Amino acid sequence: MAYDANGAYELDQLDREIISALKADGRATNQQIARSLKIAAATVSMRIRRMEELNAMRVVAVTDFEALGYKLLLAIGVEVKGRPAEDVAKDLAKLHEVFAVHLVTGARDIEILVALKEFEELHEFLLVDIARIRGVRSLTPAIAVDVIKYNFDRAHLT
């Protein structure tokens, strides 16, 4: 474990190897990881705890939309009027179907990512659920026709 000149935590090679082991098998025990890396289990435990405390790593389960019965994925651009975009974004984030909310630059103020189980849910979601949120001026929905890449882990450990 190391820190850079600004005091920010930097992953060292052992941290990267522990993370790689967890990415390969998120259920691996500290003992299994330690055995594969030829180090003590206490070292693995301490490193994982430290990386989690410093928000350098999280161990999470990633779901598969299709396996959970979601058949429709949408990216929806939201234009806001008469209310701060951040407030509208917080209200959108409360909707069960919304799994990501981004404040963005460009033609829209907010982008939301939505998962629905059936196409028939689209009407109620757009015209009832979102319509209730004050400040939504317009929507630009785009339906995903195919998922080419879905990579939850974007941190590169090179």
Residue whose C-alpha is closest to residue 37's, from 9, 11, 15: 15
Total domains in the fold of the chain: 2
pTM confidence score? 0.67
Q: Is residue 155 part of a domain?
A: no
Share of the chain above pLDDT 70, in %: 89
- 42-89 pLDDT, tens per residue? 999 999 999 999 888 888 777 778 888 899 999 999 999 999 999 999
**What's 113's domain CATH number?**
3.30.70.920
> In terms of domains, do 103 and 38 share one?
no
Question: Where are the alpha helices (H) located in 29-120, listed in sequence order?
Answer: 30-37, 41-53, 85-93
- 13-45 pLDDT, tens per residue? 999 999 999 988 888 999 999 999 999 999 999
SS3 of residue 113 by DSSP: strand
Give the whole-angstrom CA distance, residue 31 versus residue 45: 9
Predicted local distance difference test score (pLDDT) of residue 148 = 84
Q: Is residue 138 part of a domain?
A: yes
